[in-house]
Amino acid sequence: MFALIRKEINGFLNSLIGYVVILVFLITISLFLWVFPDSEFNILSNGYASLEPLFTITPWVYMFLIPAITMRLFAEEKKTGTLELLITRPLTELQIVFAKYIAGVILVFISLLPTLVYYVTVYQLGLTIGNMDSAATWGSYLGLLLLGACFVAMGVFASALTDNQVIAFIISLFLCLFFYIGFDRISAMAFTGALSQLIYQTGIYAHYVSMSRGVIDTRDLVYFLSLIALFIVLTRTIIESRKW
């Protein structure tokens, strides 16, 4: 399984598109946070030491970055006919799915690592050095990593549905968008009271915002892990169905 994880990571990092995707992500985030003076996300214009703009804009960029990373994981294997060969190896379908999933999460983690420079920068820029809410910042980073892990699970699922990478990208983008703000919008428009709150809590946004406050609630962790497990199981079911 570890050999498959290495294969997927090397396949992404050995291609030009891998570096382009990560570079586009970092450039986009940097432009909004540090360059565009009229942007509501510009840290220097906000006048206070906070990385909140980073955690506001990154989920939206991840909706495009992560589908671009995951769209090839199974779709390419199907198109080239190597998926059948992969299934014959001494690995279960769950191990194959999990290996590709872990590779996707590692790539997302790699893309997130350079943003730690922003934390150091904002930490130093405070009127009093270190005058920032570090607990909320690290909670937000954990929330962002878990959100990215959920998006990867959806992307792997979308890639398993088709042998066309473009279609996999579109399906993954839709799933990420719907689970991030879809339930929030539905609860606000169509329902009130307890039902509205239940629908709101079904979406990712509610739990991501909760973790951004710096408080690690076990209910949020259970939600993220359950959503990841759901899409991994669904992906495994799709791969198993090729034997029927």
**Which amino acid is residue 99, in one-letter code?**
A
pLDDT by 10s per residue, the chain, length 244: 777 778 777 877 777 777 888 888 889 888 888 777 766 777 777 666 678 888 889 999 999 999 988 998 888 888 887 777 777 777 788 888 999 999 999 988 988 898 888 888 887 776 666 567 777 788 889 999 999 999 999 999 999 999 899 999 999 999 999 999 888 888 877 667 778 888 888 899 989 988 877 777 899 999 999 999 999 999 999 988 765 5
Q: Are 160 and 239 in contact (CB under 8 A)?
A: yes
Size of the chain, expressed as the number of residues it contains: 244
CA angle, residues 140, 146, 147, in degrees to nearest 5: 85
Tell me the residue range of the domain where 208 lies: 2-241
pTM attached to this predicted model: 0.91
Virtual CA dihedral for 140, 95, 174, 53, nearest 10 degrees? Answer: 10
**Which amino acid is residue 139, in one-letter code?**
G
- The conformation of residue 180, written as its DSSP 8-state character, comes to I
* Per-residue pLDDT, 151: 96
User: How many structural domains compose the chain?
Assistant: 1
Q: For residue 17, how many other CB atoms are within 10 A of its CB?
A: 11
